[in-house]
Chains A and B, each alone.
Chain A
Amino acid sequence: MTKDNHPSKTYYPTYDVLSQKNEWDNVTQQVIAERLHSKEGNVLSASHKRTLQALAKCLFPSHLGEQTLSISMVLDQRITNKKLSTFPRGARFTKEEIIIQGLENAERESIFHYHLPFSQLDKKEQLSILESWKGNDGEETIWNAIKSHLFYSTLTSELIKIIYADPHIWSTIGFAGPAYPRGYYAFGPHQFDEWEAKPHDENLL
């Protein structure tokens, strides 16, 4: 496969990991169900969430067409459950502090430049703000303790985890997801278990 003939779309258009969910152990079933039907957390405000959703659309435009989780609710839940309590590399703030302060700074920056909340900006304006954060400290008056590049990398890392924890994304990449108690038994070249995605490369064999 080369870049030129890359399909840019899934090899497994009909595969659905969730169709197998009754085969998973109870604990995993519950974990995934809670993720898919995430409840409101109690840390992020409505305004944080609007900014977050707009940022997620800029960062992961095409994933979002495929992805089914409510990113803002899952992130809010994770913050509420103290899952973001460590420091990222090179930082002296928790991931939670960086993300919350960063969302507020993004809003301030948007109002400062465009007199509108971030979520109401054009895509072009949103992208230009986002682009200015990468590898940069950010506007000094807004990004003082927490620099814009740190917010950018911390938020993106956390969103990547949530996106690749989505069973619908697993289906698009052909990842068979939870595998207990069933396990894998078909081994050898081109051998797969029947509950996995059907091989798409059969014409190559």
Chain B
Amino acid sequence: MTRTSCDVCIVGAGAAGSVVAAHLAKAGLNVFMLDAGPFRSPEKDFASDELEMEKLFWDEPRISEGQDPLDLYRSTSGKGVGGSAVHYTAQLLRFHPSDFQTKTSEDIGEDWPISYEDVEPYYKQMTKRLSLSGPSTFPWKEFGDHFPYPAHHDLSNNTLKFREGLERAGYQHSVSPLAILSAPKADRHPCINRGFCEEGCMPDAKTTPLNTFIPEGLKAGVTLISEATAYRITTDEHGRATSVLYLLDGKQHEIEATTIVIAAYAIETPRLLLASSSETFPNGLANSSDLVGKYLLTNMNDHVLATFPEEIRMYRGNPVQALTMDTYLCGVKYGFKRGFIMNSYGLRPIRLATLFFDNDTKCVGERLRERMLDYNHYVSIAMLGEVIPQHQNAVTLSNQKDQHGLPIPKVTFSHHPNDESIRDKAKDVMKSVLKKAGGTPLYHLKAHAHLMGGCRMGSNPSDSVVTSYGQSHDVENLFIVGSPTFVTAPSANPTLTVYSLAQRSAEYIESYTKRAKG
């Protein structure tokens, strides 16, 4: 076993981990960052191909059970430097002020220990650092404002029809705020409308950790170790975290650190904590509340497809180009809580054919072929719906072992009745929008996107795992960053908040670590 030491060791080089690493290295700390997957170059390691680019997803076994078992692969995972943000669709929105207080405002879910005002300065900072493009007047200012790059103007037929339907149905609509360049920036070119954003952006027009925080961090001296899987956090007799044990090339290694940061997304973060149980922490690390792994969250991301007489060709341009937020809090009007947003959402053939089969196991052979022959006549739109936090939705460790002898995580998920109300309403609204646009709605395809929760933040150690800075209530020098700390699953996409809260945590971790080092 090799042994190294540093000031801060970060597990996971995705959206959150890369922000923290860049900040701490620039602040003069000695930072090591591990990622379980490879360090890929868009030009050499990406292809314009759905099947090939499955290599970006998490490729190790996970058990997915419950009444509504989640897909833990295609839409909810990433493995490799840059994390899931390498192949995100890059619609980046702020959360709404009410998202941080759903318990107080609508008596559902739980309040966050922070408010919109706490995050706002970081939203502003990240909007600039990520070179977001968006309209000069965004109808819903709480969700985004002052975009440094102009809105994308090459809108696909899929998007034009969606906006036409919204216009006729009386909804406001707008081009989406995107972390996609609409004009050149230094040596990066603007988007060429290739459409394979969810397969990784070869032209590098999409802003991801790979062209921002990772190079910034490396320049400032971060030691990045790829294809290194952390499997245990060790602790000493005082209950402090001492080191990260990881596997690289089949061998075990150890990094000792003053501060340890886990940024391994919503399944692997609780998995690592639970697998790090010891005599001092028999229930798993940072788990005195028994809430590690609990309140796992996702978003509903159902699509509705309608046929149109003319050719649409939904493969053209980035998948998600326009949206409406008018339905964000529509539940109040219809007798349920919270709500959803709607997007135009183009699908490539494998994704569409798979969704057809996932939603109807009879859709094979001739039935699938008939549907797919109409591919160029479909308009596809999608909702992103809030999912209510539930204690029973959880990541636990199973008795089954993986190839390294480590326990395989088990994810249990079932929807709350409120989720179903949101889903039903969104289906009706999407159908009516498509009808207004002149289409014939045919298919409602259920799906999910994003993972959050599993290590929720809070002020009280008995009902949360970490503070709003991600610091463990139980283990002072252990931090968790990224979407696992989320308390609720707002229907605005999560990653602008992931980046922003990671920056907020990074500043806290900097002062904590400098103090701890003496």
Interface residues of A (CB under 8 A from B): 1, 6-11, 24-25, 27-28, 31-32, 35, 59-63, 82-83, 85-87, 89-92, 94, 134-135, 152-153, 156-157, 160-165, 169-170, 172-185, 187-190, 192, 196-197, 199-201, 204-205
Considering the complex, give the chain A residue whose CB is closest to the CB of B375: A173
CB neighbors of A among B37-68 (8 A) = 43-52, 54-55, 58-65
Question: Which of B60, B373, B376 makes the CB contact (< 8 A) with A8?
Answer: B373
Q: Say if the beta carbon of B118 comes within 8 Å of chain A.
A: no
B137-158 vs A, Cβ < 8 Å mask (1 yes, 0 no)? 0000000000000000011110
Q: Is the CB of B357 within 8 A of A157?
A: yes
Q: Which residues of A contact B215 (CB under 8 A)?
A: none
Question: Which of A89, A157, A184 makes the CB contact (< 8 A) with B193?
Answer: A184
Q: Which residues of B contact A91 (CB under 8 A)?
A: 63
Assuming A85-B61, A86-B61, A173-B372, is B156 touching A60 (CB within 8 A)? no
Question: Which of B48, B63, B160, B313 makes the CB contact (< 8 A) with A87?
Answer: B63
Q: Is the CB of A183 within 8 A of B62?
A: no
B161-203 vs A, Cβ < 8 Å mask (1 yes, 0 no)? 0000000000000000000000000000000111110000011
Q: Which residues of A contact B376 (CB under 8 A)?
A: 11, 173-175, 197
Assuming A86-B59, A180-B196, is B375 touching A1 (CB within 8 A)? no
B308-338 vs A, Cβ < 8 Å mask (1 yes, 0 no)? 0111010111000000000000000000000
Q: Which residues of A contact B350 (CB under 8 A)?
A: 160-161, 164-165
Q: Which of A87, A157, A162, A170: most chain B CB closer than 10 A?
A: A87
Question: Which of A61, A87, A165 makes the CB contact (< 8 A) with B50?
Answer: A165
Q: Is the CB of A204 within 8 A of B69?
A: no
Considering the complex, give the chain A residue whose CB is closest to the CB of B411: A89
CB distance from A93 to the nearest CB of B (A): 9
Q: Say if the beta carbon of B369 comes within 8 Å of chain A.
A: yes
Considering the complex, give the chain B residue whose CB is closest to the CB of A196: B313
Q: Which residues of A contact B365 (CB under 8 A)?
A: 59-63
Interface size on B, residues (CB 8 A): 67
Q: Is the CB of A62 within 8 A of B202?
A: no
Considering the complex, give the chain B residue whose CB is closest to the CB of A65: B369
Q: Is the CB of B195 within 8 A of A153?
A: no
Q: Which of A89, A134, A152, A188: most chain B CB closer than 10 A?
A: A89
CB neighbors of A among B279-313 (8 A) = 307, 309-311, 313
**Separation of A160 and B84 alpha carbons in the complex (Å):** 24
Assuming A90-B65, A179-B196, is B357 touching A85 (CB within 8 A)? no
CB distance from A95 to the nearest CB of B (A): 10
Residue pairs across A and B with Cβ atoms less than 8 A apart, 25 shown, are A6-B370, A6-B373, A8-B369, A10-B373, A27-B46, A28-B49, A59-B364, A59-B365, A60-B368, A61-B365, A62-B365, A83-B54, A86-B58, A92-B63, A161-B50, A164-B353, A165-B49, A170-B349, A175-B375, A176-B313, A179-B194, A180-B203, A183-B203, A196-B313, A201-B311
**Separation of A28 and B50 alpha carbons in the complex (Å):** 11
Question: Which of B193, B195, B310, B373 makes the CB contact (< 8 A) with A189?
Answer: B310
Considering the complex, give the chain B residue whose CB is closest to the CB of A152: B361
B57-97 vs A, Cβ < 8 Å mask (1 yes, 0 no)? 01111111100011111000000000000000000000000
Question: Which of A61, A162, A180, A181 makes the CB contact (< 8 A) with B51?
Answer: A162
